[in-house]
Amino acid sequence: MIRLSVRDAGFEARFVELLSQARETTETVDRAVADIIAGVRARGDEAVIDYTTRFDRHMLTPDGLHISAAEIDAAVASIPAELAAALDLAATRIEAFHRAQLPQDLRMTDAAGVTMGMRWTALDAVGLYVPGGKAAYPSSVLMNAIPARAAGVGRIAMCVPTPDGLLNPLVLAAARRAGVTEIYRIGGAQAIAALAYGTASIAPVDRIVGPGNAYVAEAKRQVFGRVGIDNIAGPSEVVVLADAYNDPRCIAVDLLAQAEHDEAAQSILITDDSAFADAVAAAVAAELPTLPRSAIAGASWSGHGAIIVVDDWNQAVGLVDRLAPEHLQLMLRDPDAVFAKVRHAGAVFLGQFCPEAVGDYVAGPNHVLPTGRTARFASGLSVFDFLKRTTFVSATQAALQAIGPAGVALAEAEGLQAHARSIALRLDRS
Question: Choosing from 261, 327, 344, 367, which is the catalytic residue?
Answer: 327
| Fold match between domain 2-24+234-364 and domain 30-105+125-229 | yes
Work out the mean pLDDT of the chain and round it to a whole number.
95
Q: What is the pLDDT of residue 136?
A: 74
Q: How far apart are the first and last CA of the chain?
A: 75
The third-level CATH classification (topology) of the domain covering 30-105+125-229 is: Rossmann fold (3.40.50)
By the 10 Å C-beta count (0-12 exposed, 13-18 middle, 19+ buried), 321 is classed as middle
**CATH 1.10.3720.10 correct for 2-24+234-364:** no
- To 5 degrees, how large is the angle CA 380–CA 87–CA 298? 65
Please name which of 206, 218, 231 lies closest in space to residue 127, comparing C-alpha atoms: 206
Q: What is the pLDDT of residue 430?
A: 58
Query: Among 23-32, 62-71, 93-102, 144-153, which is the least confidently predicted range?
Result: 23-32
Q: What is the pLDDT of residue 271?
A: 98
Percent of residues, the chain, with pLDDT higher than 90: 90
Q: How confident is the model at residue 400 (pLDDT cuts 50, 70, 90)?
A: very high
Q: pLDDT tens digit string along 354-388?
A: 999 999 999 999 999 999 999 999 999 999 999 99
Q: Using alpha carbons only, how large is the chain's radius of gyration in Å?
A: 26
Q: What is the pLDDT of residue 428?
A: 82
* Mean pLDDT score, 7-28: 86
Rounded to whole angstroms, how far apart are CA atoms 138 and 175? Answer: 8
Domain regions of the chain by residue span? 2-24+234-364, 30-105+125-229, 396-428
Q: pLDDT tens digit string along 115-125?
A: 999 999 999 99
pLDDT beyond 80 at 26: no
Percent of residues, the chain, with pLDDT higher than 70: 98
Q: pLDDT tens digit string along 129-185?
A: 998 765 678 999 999 999 999 999 999 999 999 988 888 999 999 999 999 989 999
Q: What is the pLDDT of residue 241?
A: 98
Question: Choosing from 95, 326, 344, 356, which is the catalytic residue?
Answer: 326
What per-residue string of b and e applies to 183-201 under the rule 16 or more CB within 10 Å gives b? bbbbbbbbbbbbbbbebeb
Is 326 among the catalytic positions? Answer: yes
Q: What is the pLDDT of residue 25?
A: 65
pLDDT beyond 90 at 3: yes
Q: What is the pLDDT of residue 247?
A: 97
Q: Which long-range contacts (CB under 8 A, 24 or more apart) does 395-404 make?
A: 395/113, 395/114, 395/115, 396/113, 397/426, 397/430, 398/113, 399/112, 399/113, 399/114, 400/426, 400/427, 400/430, 401/427, 401/430, 402/112, 402/113, 402/114, 403/112, 403/114
Q: pLDDT tens digit string along 47-84?
A: 999 999 999 998 899 999 999 999 999 999 999 999 99
Q: pLDDT tens digit string along 213-243?
A: 889 999 999 999 999 999 888 899 999 999 9
Q: What is the pLDDT of residue 133?
A: 60
pTM, rounded to two decimals:
0.93
